[in-house]
Structure 1
Amino acid sequence: MKRKYRKISFAHFLLFFILSSCSILYVKDGDYTKLNVSDLKEKLWNTVIFENTETVFANNTIKAALRETFVNERVIKDSVKLDVRIISQLPELPRGCEVTSLAMLLNHAGVNTDKMILAKEIKKDPTPYKKQNGQVYFGNPYDGFVGDMYNKNNPGLGVYHGPIRKLAIEYLPGQIIDLTGKDFNSLYSHLSAGKPVWIITNTQYRQLPASYFEKWETPSGTLSVTYKEHSVLVTGYDHDYIYFNDPLTGQKNRKAPKEAFIKAWEQMGRQAVTYTSFS
């Protein structure tokens, strides 16, 4: 006869998770069993968090928290330079830096896809470009790709982390980690583990002056944007530099001064997406 596991709320789980010093609580017939994170195997990512006789429930938020716990326990290497195949966005996708960087990330994870497939699949914001009395009305890259990815003679910009994350999940369900909003140190953890990181930055890899930005009115609100927006795949770091595959220049492991690169990334909203081998 199968044992039944009682469901508890995520709030209770999170409270116990914090108080138990990075441990996991299983609830079995009303009894709590504590398992140390260091004792868990990779199978944990697919392990039943709460179980009954018929169904399995695995909360993605909990799973993401568990992944972060493992990542944070890793030793951060002094320097990393990953071998990731470079893909150029040109000539087919003059505005396709985001999907090209995603193609590099997914290919590194063993996924058989390419930039042109991803360009078709990425969610689009169909809002047309309009400029009236000096004010631009256009789409929102947080909602989908804005404008024309294929022809720079037409209006366009790009796409941000949300739609990229959602598309990546279709290829690697349960393995995509959105690091957006976190400190850059969190990227070092994943790079040390051999995982490159997709990011949004600008083409100058330094903090831009305010004059490079303009306000757009979009269906989901006012947005500050720059036409210098760019996406690359971060492949490494050392004491002085950040290394990345640049889809615009076609350079593999291009480097930029670390402090300036991080400031550019922060200015563009600290957007970052990577993957884990766990699912």
Structure 2
Amino acid sequence: MTLYKRVISFFLAVLLTISMIFWSSGFILSDEKSMEVYQDIRESLPVKEDIDVPEPPLERNLDESMMIIETGELPDSWQLEVPIVYQEPELPTGCESIALTMLLMYEGFELGKTDIADEYLIYSETGDFADGYVGNPYSYEGAGCFPPSLARTAERFLEENDSELHAENISGKSLGELCYYVANGIPAAVWCTMYMSYDIWLYEDGFEQDGICYNWYENEHCTVLTGYDLENRTVTIHDPLEGIVVRDMDEFEYIYDAIGRFALVIL
């Protein structure tokens, strides 16, 4: 990453942390000048206007694939051809919708950048991030959602499009287990932090579903795991903010584990 982008990333992280502190206390930033600077910095990040829709992946034998995922040997490296979609500038806090869009486009669905956010995104009326999206993904003051919510959004899309695919919340799986999915042609939406920030502040008033506690945390971010390399200890991430990036596997796993191992796949 260039020095310029590192500076941008630093200021974005600082500004987002400040805004989330105000938001979590029940306040919204009112300093118009600060918001203008914040928006100017975010809009300086690259935006991909033309999105290529790939051919659908080869037909999978789901039972066979799941058996390999659970018991098979993991290849040394694997990379899936998943389209990259950027959330900026339309959806500054819509990383979950964009991550789901990438998963669905990989399966061959033709989607506009904001179709999920516009037509299918399920919202929470109670502030439960596991129940639905909290806030407005078109706003810099939006928040986000977690796998149970995004799975329901995905199911809404798949049902309306008469698809036999379904969304599965695989939260709790280790990063190593997620690599088995990738090796079998299944990319995974994974929750991490913006710009790999190690400042993870978990809130105690989380919501529990199916035995998993979903605590909101600062710098919440949703990306797509599309590849890995065991020899070099790296993972390839399709990041709605930064594009296609290669992360250190151990560093990414630390953050993934610290926030609760949240993940989702389309099967």
How high is the TM-score relative to the length of structure 1? 0.63
Q: Does 1:146 align with 2:134?
A: yes
Letter of the 2:171 partner, please give it: T
Moved over 4 A (4+): 42-45, 215-218
Residues 130 and 214, structure 2, Cα contact 8 Å, conserved in 1: no
Corresponding position of 2:247: 256
Which sits farther off after the overlay, 67-76 or 232-241? 67-76
User: What whole-Å deviation, never above 9, does each CA across 1:227-255 have from its counterpart, x for those lacking one?
Assistant: 30000011111132111111012x12x01
Task: Give me the whole-angstrom Cα distance separating, in 2, the residues matched to 1:73 and 1:229.
Answer: 32
Corresponding position of 1:83: 81
Task: Give me the whole-angstrom Cα distance separating, in 2, the residues matched to 1:241 and 1:182.
Answer: 18
Residues 207 and 260, structure 1, Cα contact 8 Å, conserved in 2: no
Corresponding position of 1:125: 124
Which sits farther off after the overlay, 267-276 or 225-234? 267-276
Task: Give me the whole-angstrom Cα distance separating, in 2, the residues matched to 1:183 and 1:126.
Answer: 31
Task: Give me the whole-angstrom Cα distance separating, in 1, the residues matched to 2:185 and 2:206.
Answer: 40
Change in Cα spacing, 1:144 to 1:175, as seen in structure 2 (3 Å) is closer
Corresponding position of 1:246: 239
Hey, which of these two has a bigger chunk of helix by percent? 2
Letter of the 1:145 partner, please give it: Y
Change in Cα spacing, 1:223 to 1:87, as seen in structure 2 (3 Å) is closer
Corresponding position of 1:159: 145
Hey, which of these two has a bigger chunk of strand by percent? 1
Letter of the 1:262 partner, please give it: E
Alpha-carbon deviation of 1:43?
A: 9.7
SS in 1 for 2:138: coil
How high is the TM-score relative to the length of structure 2? 0.65
Structure 2 unaligned regions, length at least 5: 1-58
Alpha-carbon deviation of 1:90?
A: 0.7
Structure 1 unaligned regions, length at least 5: 1-41, 46-62, 128-138
Q: How many residues align?
A: 198
Larger radius of gyration: 1
Corresponding position of 1:107: 105
